[in-house]
Chain A
Amino acid sequence: MPLVKGRKITDDLYPHVADGAELPAEGNVLVSAAHFLENPEALFARQGKVGVIWPNNRDVDDLVPYLERLAVVALVFPTFRDGRAYSQARLLRERYLYRGELRATGQVLRDQFVFMLRAGFDAFEVTKESDAEAFAQTVQRYSVFYQPTGDGRITALHRRMQLRHSESAGL
């Protein structure tokens, strides 16, 4: 499954270690939430960065104590129709100010890229190769956004205010 980051297909630097499998001696790892919560300190003590795959039915509050030390949080879309991870993403970015990689995983399709970017995702395990290739083009579909989110794009309401103010200032 291709990984898109920085709007292009890149190598995945976080090998997924299945539950029960042996951890590599060193290097980055991406582990399940259950695995991670068993002994987070042991994972952080290793040589290499840690990422966690967080299920969409578990409060992200439980992750808060570890956010500064986590390099990747991967949120799950079991199907693209299940939108819980959008709320989790916004909470991580906007309330808990998580700055590491926020990865979308599961059924990640082209027609959700813009929503995901707006919710704060910056890495995408894209289901189809053709969708991954179309990433850069697809995310330019929209230039107008009605809602404020943590991605900082200006909303329609505020753009109108700016236009109005610049008109009244005679600019």
Chain B
Amino acid sequence: MYAYDEIDRTLVNERVAEFRDQVRRRLSGELTEDEFKMLRLQNGVYLQLHAYMFRVAIPYGTLSSKQLRRLAHVARRYDRGYGHFTTRQNIQFNWIKLAELPDALADLAEVGIHSMQTSGNNTRNVTSDQWAGVAPGEVEDPRIWSEILRQYTTLHPEFSFLPRKFKFAITASAHDRAAIKIHDIGLRLHKNDQGETGFEVQVGGGLGRTPFIGKTIKPFVHGRDLLSYVEAIMRVYNQYGRRDNIYKARIKILVHELGVEKFAQEVEEEWQQTRDGALKLDEEVVEDIRSRFFYPAYEKLPHMPDELRKAAQDPKFEAWRTNSVFPHKAQGYAIVTVSLKPVGGPPGDATADQMDALADLADRYSFGEIRVGHEQNLALPHVARRDLPELWKALDKLGLATPNVNLISDIIACPGLDYCSLANARSIPIAQELTRRFANHETANLIGRLHINISGCINACGHHHVGHIGILGVEKNGEEVYQITIGGRADEQAELGTLIGPAVKFDEVADVIEDVVEAYLALRSRPDELFVDTVKRLGVEPFRERVYATR
């Protein structure tokens, strides 16, 4: 956990006071809606179909139990008793009243949470691996650098009015859980031959209307130069990014239009002018940030305690353990993913009661810490393996032990037309229907790892391009229809999915997905060949035939 000091607290409080003044001026008519819109967006406030939506940042996906309880309080006091975790380590509340927003922000500020820049054309929440600091084999905890970037990008005087939104993600593991290749800047932490920390810098990834996988513009930027190099990228983008067309304004388009070599060269020239300036990070400054992250004092515990051995006789426990429990860097401990994907439920939603109860469980079993992942699940990052059976029972009572992590019903979905004013089609009911179709745990297990991602419009908040199966809702002649892609992935081998054929109607989506899955089961070379690998080996054609032969 990162602990705010007086300086961080002061800034957040000053921001709350500023926003309170802005809301007051809007309500009195001093500010026009046009003027207010950008100000509210920069505080995470959207106007949606039914009400204002409020998006709160969970930087690099790390929460304390105290913070999670405060999110529960906001859900209960200012909203309708639940919140929605997003693909970018944010939580959204859907029914907030504008006049009450400053109070909600002030309540959050007391526990060091804010909504700064969770929307608007500025740098968004800096995201990272939800297993940061606990994953075995990790090079170094990427949250130190995420926090340095969070501070650097917060209220930046030069980059608060960029051509378009701008997203960072960082990973420090060989397996990328932060989807860095679909971010404006993706940073892969690694060490050079001298053992010094630095970053491979990828630029211009992103989904939306024109999806791109990020391209490497520098294989190693030393940690001390991270901020000056990032500033050079942002400065090139701020000056030359397109502002004439909202759909061409992201940095990916600039990188594409200039060509990656030319873009890299522009950045290099700018960086050479500033690299020895005030942004250079000395070791002492990095150490100071590092020193304010708390790490638990782990006990020496056995890998296979009696409690676990005994519980292994219960098939329901085993089903959950196999899919939800992951190796930890400390012996005797585990990382537990908490599924927010119950059968028939909207993906990523949690009630205030669930949040409060999970905060209690985090205190009892996970040193008071909770993580949020881009797959819209939560995690308890420091669970002693001997406590797993008890934790499972408690989670199960709360409806948080669905044994489907990484399986077909662990679906990523945006809010879609049920809430969002940009959406063309519904996402949540599609996800709900699919979880019902694949509710049988034996079947889901037989299918194995398979990610379905659903977006209700081309803006791709549900990351459909990089789902093993991607579902994109569009509107055609006043009707919701859905395009299906297969073969996408968001990890270190990121790839965009390929369309399998013409769009299908709302009522047909689940049938089509079942056909795709049946085709996979028939086509896979062995039971452990994953869906995405079968698609890679065979291409989309055999899937297309299967789905459209009878349609």
A86 to B234: give the CA distance in the assembly, Å.
12
Any B CB within 8 A of the CB of A80: yes
Which residues of A are found within 8 Å of B279, using beta-carbon distances? 148
Contact for A143 among B5, B10, B151, CB less than 8 A: B10
Contact for B14 among A130, A141, A147, A161, CB less than 8 A: A141
| In contact, A83 and B11 (Cβ under 8 angstroms) | no
Which residues of A are found within 8 Å of B121, using beta-carbon distances? 81
| In contact, A80 and B38 (Cβ under 8 angstroms) | yes
Q: Which of A12-20, A37-45, A63-71, A113-121 contacts B (4 or more CB under 8 A)?
A: A113-121
Which residues of B are found within 8 Å of A144, using beta-carbon distances? 7-8, 10-11, 14
| In contact, B17 and A141 (Cβ under 8 angstroms) | yes
| In contact, B157 and A149 (Cβ under 8 angstroms) | yes
Chain B positions 394 through 433: 1 when the CB is less than 8 Å from some CB of chain A, otherwise 0: 0000000000000000000000000000000000000000
Q: Which of B158-166, B207-215, B318-326 contacts A (4 or more CB under 8 A)?
A: B158-166
Q: Which residues of B (129-164) have their CB < 8 Å from a CB of A?
A: 151-152, 154-162
Any A CB within 8 A of the CB of B479: no
Chain A positions 83 through 100: 1 when the CB is less than 8 Å from some CB of chain B, otherwise 0: 110111010000100000
Q: Which of B235-243, B451-459, B497-505 contacts A (4 or more CB under 8 A)?
A: B235-243
> How big is the B interface, by class?
35 or more
A49 to B279: give the CA distance in the assembly, Å.
36
Chain B's interface: helix, strand, loop or mixed, by majority? helix
| In contact, B11 and A82 (Cβ under 8 angstroms) | no
A141 to B243: give the CA distance in the assembly, Å.
30
A147 to B152: give the CA distance in the assembly, Å.
6
| Residue of B whose beta carbon sits closest to that of A141 | B18
| In contact, B157 and A114 (Cβ under 8 angstroms) | yes
| In contact, B39 and A83 (Cβ under 8 angstroms) | no
A143 to chain B, nearest CB (A): 6
Which residues of B are found within 8 Å of A50, using beta-carbon distances? none
Which residues of A are found within 8 Å of B10, using beta-carbon distances? 143-144
| In contact, B14 and A142 (Cβ under 8 angstroms) | yes
A35 to B277: give the CA distance in the assembly, Å.
35
Which residues of B are found within 8 Å of A53, using beta-carbon distances? none
Any A CB within 8 A of the CB of B35: yes
Which residues of A are found within 8 Å of B243, using beta-carbon distances? 82, 84
| Residue of B whose beta carbon sits closest to that of A116 | B157
| Residue of B whose beta carbon sits closest to that of A120 | B157
Any B CB within 8 A of the CB of A109: yes
A28 to B155: give the CA distance in the assembly, Å.
36
Any A CB within 8 A of the CB of B193: no
A148 to B156: give the CA distance in the assembly, Å.
10
* Contact A83 to B159, CB < 8 A, known contacts A111-B39, A156-B7, A160-B7: yes
Any A CB within 8 A of the CB of B477: no
Any A CB within 8 A of the CB of B49: no
* Contact A95 to B273, CB < 8 A, known contacts A81-B121, A83-B158: yes
Any A CB within 8 A of the CB of B351: no
| Residue of B whose beta carbon sits closest to that of A155 | B278
Which residues of B are found within 8 Å of A146, using beta-carbon distances? 11, 151-152, 154-156
A45 to B30: give the CA distance in the assembly, Å.
46
| Residue of B whose beta carbon sits closest to that of A56 | B239
Which residues of A are found within 8 Å of B157, using beta-carbon distances? 86, 114-116, 118-119, 147, 149
A8 to chain B, nearest CB (A): 21
| Residue of A whose beta carbon sits closest to that of B10 | A144
| In contact, B22 and A143 (Cβ under 8 angstroms) | no
| Residue of B whose beta carbon sits closest to that of A107 | B35
B22 to chain A, nearest CB (A): 7
Q: Which residues of B (1-51) have their CB < 8 Å from a CB of A?
A: 5, 7-8, 10-11, 14, 17-18, 22, 30, 35, 38-39
A86 to B17: give the CA distance in the assembly, Å.
24
* Contact A84 to B239, CB < 8 A, known contacts A111-B22, A115-B157, A119-B158: yes
Which residues of B are found within 8 Å of A111, using beta-carbon distances? 18, 22, 39
| In contact, B38 and A87 (Cβ under 8 angstroms) | no
A114 to B14: give the CA distance in the assembly, Å.
12
Any A CB within 8 A of the CB of B284: yes
B36 to chain A, nearest CB (A): 9
Which residues of B are found within 8 Å of A119, using beta-carbon distances? 157-158
| In contact, A143 and B14 (Cβ under 8 angstroms) | yes
Which residues of B are found within 8 Å of A143, using beta-carbon distances? 10, 14
* Contact A159 to B7, CB < 8 A, known contacts A86-B158, A87-B239, A118-B157: yes
Any A CB within 8 A of the CB of B288: yes
Which residues of B are found within 8 Å of A141, using beta-carbon distances? 14, 17-18
| Residue of B whose beta carbon sits closest to that of A115 | B157
A20 to B157: give the CA distance in the assembly, Å.
36
Name the residue in B5, B158, B235, B288 with the highest tally of chain A Cβ atoms < 10 Å from its Cβ: B158
A161 to B5: give the CA distance in the assembly, Å.
13
A80 to chain B, nearest CB (A): 7
Which residues of A are found within 8 Å of B277, using beta-carbon distances? 148
| In contact, A142 and B11 (Cβ under 8 angstroms) | yes
| In contact, B158 and A149 (Cβ under 8 angstroms) | yes
* Contact A87 to B235, CB < 8 A, known contacts A81-B121, A141-B17, A157-B285: yes
A118 to B159: give the CA distance in the assembly, Å.
12
The 6 A-B residue pairs with the shortest CB-CB distance, nearest first, are A83-B161, A118-B157, A148-B278, A144-B11, A115-B157, A146-B151
17 A-B interface contacts by CB (under 8 A)? A86-B238, A87-B158, A87-B235, A88-B239, A95-B273, A111-B22, A111-B39, A114-B157, A144-B7, A144-B8, A146-B154, A147-B158, A148-B279, A156-B8, A157-B285, A161-B285, A161-B288
A interface list, Cβ under 8 A from B:
80-84, 86-88, 90, 95, 109, 111, 114-116, 118-119, 130, 141-149, 155-161, 164
Q: A86-B238, A157-B151 are in contact. List 15 more A-B contacts (CB 8 A).
A: A81-B121, A83-B158, A83-B159, A84-B238, A84-B239, A87-B238, A142-B14, A144-B11, A146-B151, A148-B277, A148-B279, A156-B8, A157-B285, A158-B285, A161-B288
